[in-house]
C-alpha cells in the first residue's frame, strides 16, 4: 500500500487542494483547517452542511498568505499571521480563542455567502483538546470536526462507485490521505498504521454527513452517496450513522508525509 494523494483544506468546509507532501505538527498537517468562517454575531462556525456554496470558495497557500477566490467573484489575500484581535468562536462542542483576520476577508466572505461573517485563524492562545475516545493526553485538533486526519482507500471508493448510478470523485469525501493498493474498506480494520516515517492511531470510522451529497464543483446537492451507503455501511453501534473512511490521530508529531510513501499496518 502507498499514499496516492494528499489533501489540505486550509479553511474549514471550503474547497481543498492537493499537495505532493505535507509537514506534521502537534495539530496535524501544517496548513490544514487552520482557518474557519464564523458568524459575526455569535462566533458559531459555518459548514457546507448548511451552506453548500462554501464548496465554491477555492483556497491556496503560499509561504506567507492564504488566498481565497471564486470564479467571477475575485479574490482576497490573507496573511498567515493575520490578527485584528481575538474572538471566542465555537466549533461543535469546543469554544476557543481564535485570531480575527480583519475586515477585508470578512467583507469578501460576507458578500459571497450573503451573511455577516468573520474569518478567524488558530492563534497563539488557541487550545482545543481532541475529545475522541482514542485520544490520549496532549492530543489536540485544529478546526476539523473531531480528528486531525481522515484516510480513505481508492478501492473503497471504487467499490462504492460500482454501486452508484453515477460515479463520484474522491473530493466528495474530503480525505487528507488517499491510499492505493489496499483492500476495499481495509482502512476500517487498522488500529495503528505507519505512513512513511510517521505513525498514526485509528480514532474509529468516519460517520458521513450531507457534505458528501454536495458536488464540490457546482455546490449542487443530491441524495447520493448517502442513499447508497445507507444500504450497506450503517454503523452497527449507531445505525443512524453511515461510515466511509477512517479517522486518524498522529503519534508522530513532527516529520513529512509524501505522495508515494509506503503504508504499513502495525
pLDDT digits (tens, 9 = 90+) for 203-239: 999 999 999 999 999 999 999 999 999 999 999 999 9
pLDDT of residue 75: 97
Quote the mean pLDDT of the chain: 97
pLDDT band at 76 (very low <50, low <70, confident <90, very high): very high
Which DSSP string do the residues of 196-207 spell out, in sequence order?
TTEEEEEEEEEE
pLDDT band at 38 (very low <50, low <70, confident <90, very high): very high
Burial class of residue 144 in the structure, from the number of CB atoms within 10 Å of its CB (0-12 exposed, 13-18 middle, 19+ buried): buried
Query: pTM (2 decimals)?
Result: 0.96
The answer to whether 172 and 225 are in contact (CB under 8 A) is yes
Segment 37-44 shows an average pLDDT of: 98
Q: Per-residue pLDDT tens for 84-110?
A: 999 999 999 999 999 999 999 999 999
pLDDT of residue 71: 93
Q: Report the relative pairing of strands 94-100 and 28-29 from DSSP bridges.
A: unpaired
Nearest-angstrom CA–CA distance, 266 and 248: 14
pLDDT of residue 2: 98
Segment 53-63 shows an average pLDDT of: 97
Nearest-angstrom CA–CA distance, 127 and 148: 14
pLDDT of residue 166: 97
pLDDT of residue 127: 95
Which DSSP string do the residues of 102-170 spell out, in sequence order?
-HHHHHHHHHHHTS-EEEEE--TT---B--STT--TT-B--SSSS-SEEEEEHHHHHHHHTTSSS---G
The answer to whether 192 and 161 are in contact (CB under 8 A) is no
Nearest-angstrom CA–CA distance, 114 and 194: 44
DSSP letter assigned to residue 44: B
Q: Which residue has the cell 455577516?
A: 116
Grid cell, residue 10, equals 486550509
The answer to whether 17 and 61 are in contact (CB under 8 A) is yes
Residues whose CB falls within 8 Å of the CB of residue 62, separated by 6 or more in sequence, listed in order? none
pLDDT band at 156 (very low <50, low <70, confident <90, very high): very high
pLDDT band at 57 (very low <50, low <70, confident <90, very high): very high
Q: Sheet holding 28-29: strands in order across?
A: 28-29, 21-25, 255-258
Segment 115-138 shows an average pLDDT of: 96
Q: CA angle, corner 209, sides to 139 and 234, nearest 5? A: 95
pLDDT band at 53 (very low <50, low <70, confident <90, very high): very high
pLDDT of residue 202: 98
Burial class of residue 66 in the structure, from the number of CB atoms within 10 Å of its CB (0-12 exposed, 13-18 middle, 19+ buried): buried
The helix, strand and coil proportions of the chain, stated in percent and rounded to the nearest 5, come to: 15, 40, 45
Amino acid at each position: 500500500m502507498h499514499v496516492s494523494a494528499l489533501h489540505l483544506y486550509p479553511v474549514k468546509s471550503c474547497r481543498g487542494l492537493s499537495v505532493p507532501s505535507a509537514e506534521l505538527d502537534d495539530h496535524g498537517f501544517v496548513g490544514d483547517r487552520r482557518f474557519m468562517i464564523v458568524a459575526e454575531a455569535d462566533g458559531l462556525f459555518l459548514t457546507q452542511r448548511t451552506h453548500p456554496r462554501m464548496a465554491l470558495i477555492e483556497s491556496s497557500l503560499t509561504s506567507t498568505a492564504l488566498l481565497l477566490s471564486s470564479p467571477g467573484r475575485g479574490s482576497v489575500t490573507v496573511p498567515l499571521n493575520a490578527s485584528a484581535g481575538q474572538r471566542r468562536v465555537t466549533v461543535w462542542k469546543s469554544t476557543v480563542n481564535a485570531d480575527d483576520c480583519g475586515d477585508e476577508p470578512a467583507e469578501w466572505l460576507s458578500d459571497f455567502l450573503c451573511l455577516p461573517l468573520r474569518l478567524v485563524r488558530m492563534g497563539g492562545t488557541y487550545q482545543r483538546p481532541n475529545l475522541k475516545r482514542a485520544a490520549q493526553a496532549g492530543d489536540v485538533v485544529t478546526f476539523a470536526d473531531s480528528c486531525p486526519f481522515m484516510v480513505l482507500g481508492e478501492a473503497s471508493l471504487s467499490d462504492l462507485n460500482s454501486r452508484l448510478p453515477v460515479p463520484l470523485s474522491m473530493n466528495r469525501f474530503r480525505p487528507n490521505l488517499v491510499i492505493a493498493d489496499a483492500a476495499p474498506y481495509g482502512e476500517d480494520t487498522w488500529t495503528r498504521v505507519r505512513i512513511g516515517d510517521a505513525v498514526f492511531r485509528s480514532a474509529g470510522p468516519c460517520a458521513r454527513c450531507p457534505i458528501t451529497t454536495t458536488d464540490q464543483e457546482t455546490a449542487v446537492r443530491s441524495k447520493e452517496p448517502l442513499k447508497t451507503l445507507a444500504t450497506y455501511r450503517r454503523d452497527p453501534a449507531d445505525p443512524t450513522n453511515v461510515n466511509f473512511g477512517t479517522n486518524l490521530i498522529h503519534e508522530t508529531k513532527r516529520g513529512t508525509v509524501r505522495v508515494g510513501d509506503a503504508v504499513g499496518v502495525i
